[in-house]
Structure 1
Amino acid sequence: MEYEIVELEEKVVMGVCVRISNQDENMPKVIGGLWQHFFADGMYKAIEHKKNQCSIGLYSDYESDVNGLYDVTVCCEVNECEQILDGIVVKKIPSGKYAKFIVKGHMQRAIADFWTKLWSMKLDRKYSCDFEEYQSGGNIDNCEIHVYISLN
């Protein structure tokens, strides 16, 4: 898979969060439910001061590596977070070096295929913060996703 190395500045995001591991057999269902909660229950609309129209799937606070627990946060980037609603968390995506991948296709299939391929790559992963940034204007069958993987 092709990627480029980029330096990102810190981002502040707001959204809903759950702690899970890849070994949890319910992981796809739990993460899907988090996305459903974020959009269908009005959380996305209620967040003020969005920086753009992109939604983000954030993976952070890794216990160890691909096999340990981590936080999944469905969120959006904000310019400021003066009002925090019940059930909403604020997280920071740290500045630093990331591998940036561009994934295109059916939203769920393309991103699942991406992660399967990533796990077999020899990247010097930092396991601090990785995220998927879903570009606005796409649809579920044909979307563009920018994926950032933190590097040492």
Structure 2
Amino acid sequence: MKYELVELKEMMVAGLLARTNNFAPDMGNVISGLWDQFMGIYPSVMYKVNEKTLGIYTEYEGRETEDYSLLAACEVEKKEGQPNGITIKIIPAGTYAKFIAEGEGKDAVAKVWQQLWNMSLPRSFICDFEEYETLKEGHVRVHVYIGLKK
């Protein structure tokens, strides 16, 4: 699978946080429930940089087979004035492998992750994230950024 190496600057994000594991029986419900909640409060998030939403994976206990935190979020300029319950996190600056998926929502992203797990990237397991862009109803372009070791 093709990817591009990119250097990203630090980004501040605001969103809702959950903890899960790729092998947890309720993982799908945790993630979809988190997104449903976030989209409900999305209009009230202040100081958005753009209209893109982000799925951020961080606080890994180890590798992709262990627990991690997931933040459904958007990039913001300021942390002040955000709605109650919002978590502010920083996506660290660094080198990321950038993959592009395009297709029907969840299916497009799932295919990328399935392939990623079989690649031997020098992953940092500090922060990975997805950046969603809606092309038309139900059809998305997703940029998947995988944090790499220095």
SS in structure 1 of the partner of residue 80 of structure 2: coil
Q: How many equivalent residue pairs?
A: 149
**Correspondence 1:117 to 2:123:** no
1:146 to 136, 143, 148: 143
Aligned to 2:3: 3
Q: Distance in 1 between matches of 2:54 and 2:73?
A: 5
| Amino acid of the structure 1 residue aligned with 2:46 | E
Q: CA RMSD in A?
A: 1.0
TM-score (normalizing by structure 1): 0.95
Q: Deviations over 1:1-28 (max 9, x none)?
A: 1100000000000000001111201101
Contact 2:135/2:141, CA 8 A, preserved across alignment:
no
Aligned partners of 2:46 and 2:82 also within 8 Å:
no
User: Does the aligned pair in 2 maintain the 1:16–1:88 contact within 8 Å?
Assistant: yes
Q: Any residues of structure 2 matched to 1:1-152 within 5 Å, and which?
A: 1-39=1-39, 41=40, 43-140=41-138, 142-152=139-149
Identity, % of aligned pairs? 41
How much does 1:83 deviate? 1.2
Which letter maps to 1:70?
Y
For 1:57 and 1:4, how far apart are their aligned partners in 2? 19
| 1:18 maps to amino acid | A
TM-score normalised by the chain length of structure 2: 0.96
Q: Which runs of 5+ in 1 are unaligned?
A: none
- Stretches of structure 2 that go unaligned for 5 or more consecutive residues are none
In structure 1, distance between residues paired with 2:126 and 2:136: 28
Task: Write the distance in 2 (CA, Å) between the matches of 1:111 and 1:137.
Answer: 14
